[in-house]
Amino acid sequence: MDYQNKPQDYYSHVRSEMLAFLPDGSKTILDVGCADGSFAFQVKKISGAEVWGIEYMEEEAKKAAEKLDRVFAGPCEGHIDNLPENYFDVIFFNDVLEHLQDPYAVLKAIKSKLSDTGVIISSIPNIRYHRVLVPLLFRKQFEYQAEGVMDKTHLRFFTGSSIRKMYEDQGYEIVEHKGI
């Protein structure tokens, strides 16, 4: 995948809108696809929690390691077994699952890493977004881009209902599902 040629601020974007979903009292947090650690560092500052990250890109993982408590570099699939069982109060997947070959298997494998009250918070682009559908319907083509819903590095595309189904099929209870 061509993750090297992303816009300059792609790996340092802080998804501040995702902070609203962070449960009070979260003490252990994992950010899968943490990039340079900017978002996870904000979570750490706000919550005072122990924050870990997993980042595919080696250079970005090095930057994240300067900000977070522990960071693994490489594909997340290769690090799930190294994570402690029943440990994380929150696992974030901010715009990550659509980049994975088998997000279903990742969600299934990582479930045992959540504490008894642990939650997954994710952001997943919806292919039914009007700016995607209009070109598809009227020009009859996918118009891939450097980032966004039609990011050329996306391996999977989801709708709202397929996102729900993916989580439910892996045994998760959906507490909240909304567009942001």
Distance CA 36, CA 59 (A): 8
The region of weakest confidence among 17-26, 44-53, 154-163 is 154-163
The domain spans of the chain are 25-169
Q: What is the pLDDT of residue 130?
A: 62
Residue labelled with tokens 């918070």: 121
Distance from C-alpha of 150 to C-alpha of 130, rounded to nearest angstrom: 12
Fold of 25-169: Rossmann fold (3.40.50)
**pLDDT bucket at 148, cuts 50 / 70 / 90:** low
pLDDT score for 162: 73
DSSP-derived 3-state class of residue 159: coil
Give me the pLDDT at residue 164, please: 85
Q: Residue 167 has what pLDDT?
A: 85
Is residue 6's pLDDT more than 50? Answer: no
Tokens describing residue 84: 């402690």
